[in-house]
Structure 1
Amino acid sequence: MSAKNALNEIKRSLDGLIGEKIVLRANGGRRKTIERTGILEETYPSVFVVKLDNQGNSFKRVSYSYADILTETVELMVCKDDGNNIRITYVEE
């Protein structure tokens, strides 16, 4: 499967999750991992936007590319009402 198809598949899976509460784990550099929670607000052709919960963050919204998920620079976990987390990753077949 080509990278372009993989990115389209990631976008399609996120399109159905708009409005869901998610947990982001992102590489912060120098062996730091940043974890934030928020709502998946919008998906665009190249990026997706997350509105962050107010926890003293200096940013209200962050955006990441679908390639960040493909390269595992960013991990997404969807928080469902029943307390279960569903992890979004891409596995090439």
Structure 2
Amino acid sequence: MELNKTIATIKKDIQNHLGEKVTLKANGGRKKILVNDGVIESVHPSIFVVRLESDTQRTVTYSYSDVLTKTVLLYYPV
């Protein structure tokens, strides 16, 4: 990832990977790191939605500022 990313570039990058698989690494607080695989389901003006591929098939939402502050890291398979 680039060093000088803005929310606009992060949003555009996530929009380019809409519908693709992604590995999500999120800070769960109190030294908990949550790692899940999922698919970017939709992109909205201030948030994006990821459908997790775990046994419960639930969705999670994150804001673009979560990616900017590295609370959430997204890894796209090559």
TM range, smaller chain:
0.7 to 0.9
Task: Name the SS of the counterpart of 1:79 in structure 2.
Answer: coil
1:40 maps to a residue whose letter is I
Task: Name the SS of the counterpart of 2:6 in structure 1.
Answer: helix
TM-score (norm 1): 0.74
Task: Name the SS of the counterpart of 2:14 in structure 1.
Answer: helix
Q: What residue in structure 2 maps to residue 74 of structure 1?
A: 72
TM-score (norm 2): 0.87
Q: What residue in structure 2 maps to residue 88 of structure 1?
A: none
Alignment RMSD (CA, Å): 1.5
Stretches of structure 1 lacking an aligned partner (at least 5 in a row): 81-93
**Seq. identity, %:** 41
Give 1:54 shift. 2.8
Which protein has the larger Cα radius of gyration, Structure 1 or Structure 2? 1
Q: How many residues align?
A: 74
Which 4+ residue blocks in structure 1 deviate beyond 3 angstroms?
A: none
Give 1:8 shift. 1.1
